[in-house]
Amino acid sequence: MVFKKTDVCELFGIEYPIVQAPMGPFITTKLCAAVSNAGGLGIISHTGTFLYLKERDPDFYKQVHDFAPKLVESTLAMEEDMGVNTLEELRKVSKLTDKPFGVNVRVAREQPDAPYLIDAIIEEREKDPKLTENLKVVVTSAGSPNLYTQRLKDAGLIVVHVVPSVYHAQKSEKAGVDAVVASGHEAGGHVAWDPVHTSVLTPAVRKIVKVPVLSAGGWCDGKGLVAALALGAGAIYMGTRFIATKESDFAPGYKEAVLGGTERDTIVTAGTFGPIRVLKNKYAATLQELLDSVTGSFQGKFENPKIEDAKTNISWADSYKRGKTENAPVLTGEVQGLIDNLPTVKELIDGIMKEAEEIITKKLPSFIA
C-alpha cells in the first residue's frame, strides 16, 4: 500500500481516509460499526428531533409543541416508528467495534433537542470507559459552529463542522473546530441554498483554512478519493455510497432505489429545515408542484402551511424501514448514478483504496513524459 496516513487519518486515529457520513433521521448503527471496523471512521446519525427535548425539558417541549403541534407530533411518531434513540445507538456501536467512531448532532435552530443531546452524549461517554476511548468525534452540522464547539472540546471530543462555503469554513475555524467537511451541492440529503459544487468548494476551503478538510458530495470510488486528495482534502466523506452496502441499516427497497437511480434522478426540494436532495418520486413531485403553485421567495415558500402539510403527512419510516420508496422522502445524492453494486463495507473500502493506489502508482505516472 502506497498510502501514508493523511492529516484526517492522524486526527481521528484511523487507517484509511474514508469517513461514513451521518444520515439522520435514519439509523446508521450497523453501518457505523462496519466502517470503523474496516479502517475508516463510522458516524452515528442524529436520529431524534424532539426525543431528548421531551425527556430533559418537558416545559420547553410544551412550548415548542404549542408553537408547531403538527410538526412535533408527526416527527415524534416517526421517531417512535423507526425506534430511534441516539444514546442507545452509541451503546450498540461501542459493543460492535473497538475502533474510533463519531456521532452527528444537527445544530440548526429548528433542532431544539441539540443542546440536550450534546449534554446526554457527553454524560454517556463519561460513564463508560470504552465509549470515552472510542467515541472520539462529534460532527456538528446545519447550524452555527459557535454554539457547541467549546463545550464539546472541553469534554475531550474532536469537533468537525460541516460547511457549504468558504465563509462558513472560516467561521468554523475561528470557533475552534478541529476539521471541516466541505459539503458540495451534489450531496444527498441536506444541501445549502447556494449551489456550490464539490470540485470548487473543496479547494476553496482548503486554501482558506489551516485545519484538515474532508470533502463531501459525489464521492464513491478510488477515482473520487484520488481527486479529493488532489483538491486538498484529507479524506472523503460519503453518505449515498454507504447506503448501498450489505451492512447498511436501510431497508432493501431503499438500497434498490439508490442502485436504480441515475445521476439525473434527484431533485433539491423542501426539507424539514432548508433544502434537501432526494430521489425524484411521487413525494418529490407533489412537493415540487406545491412549491411552484405558491408565491413568495424561495425560502418563504418552504415555510408555507400547504408545504408544511405535505411534509408532515408522510412517513420517513416508510422508505427507511419498509422500503416503500414511491411516496416518501428518499434522501440520496447525484452519485447514485455511479453506484451499481451492493458490496460489504470492507469490500467497498478495500476496493476504493486499491483503485486509488493503482491510479496513483500506474495511471497518473503514465501522463508524465
Ligand X SMILES: Cc1cc2nc3c(=O)[nH]c(=O)nc-3n(C[C@H](O)[C@H](O)[C@H](O)COP(=O)(O)O)c2cc1C
Under the rule (CB under 6 A), what is the footprint of ligand X?
Answer: 21-24, 26, 45-46, 104, 106, 141-142, 162, 183, 186-190, 216-219, 238-241, 331-333, 335
Give the distance from CA 336 to its chain's centroid: 15
Q: How far is the CB of 88 from ligand X (least distance, A)?
A: 17
Helix, strand, coil proportions of the chain in percent (round to 5)?
Answer: 50, 15, 35
Element (H, E) at 304: none
Ranked by CB distance to ligand X, the top (closest) residue is 239
Q: Compare residues 74 and 111 and give the one whose CB is closer to ligand X.
A: 111
Pick the closer one to ligand X by CB: 46 or 321.
46
Cell of 146: 459557535
Residue pointed to by grid coordinates 450531496: 187
- Helix (H) / strand (E) element for 179: namely strand 179-183
Please give the Cα distance from 349 to 36 (Å, whole number).
10
Q: How far is the CB of 104 from ligand X (least distance, A)?
A: 5
End-to-end CA gap in the chain: 25
Give the separation between CA 89 and CA 105, rounded to whole angstroms. Answer: 13
Minimum distance of ligand X from residue 365's CB (angstroms): 29
Instruction: State the pairing for strand pair 189-190/179-183.
Output: unpaired
Q: Please, are residues 145 and 172 in contact by the beta-carbon 8 Å criterion?
A: yes
Nearer to ligand X, 256 or 366 (CB): 256
HSE-up (13 A, CA, CB side) for residue 134:
24
Please state the closest distance from residue 368 (CB atom) to ligand X, in A: 31
CB 363 within 8 A of CB 29: no
Minimum Å distance from CB 160 to ligand X? 10
Ramachandran area for residue 217 (φ above 0: left; ψ -120 to 50: alpha; else beta): left
C-beta of 187 vs 211, nearer to ligand X: 187
- Residue 6 or residue 319: which is nearer to ligand X going by CB? 319
Inter-residue contact 101 to 134 (CB < 8 Å): yes
* Min dist. Cβ of residue 332 to ligand X (A): 6
Q: How far is the CB of 339 from ligand X (least distance, A)?
A: 10
Residue 77 is inside which H or E element, if any? helix 69-82
Closest CB to ligand X among residues 74, 332: 332
Whichever of 141 and 172 has its CB closer to ligand X, that residue is 141
65 vs 241 by CB, closer to ligand X: 241
Asked if 41 contacts 110 with a C-beta cutoff of 8 angstroms, the reply is no
Q: How far is the CB of 319 from ligand X (least distance, A)?
A: 9
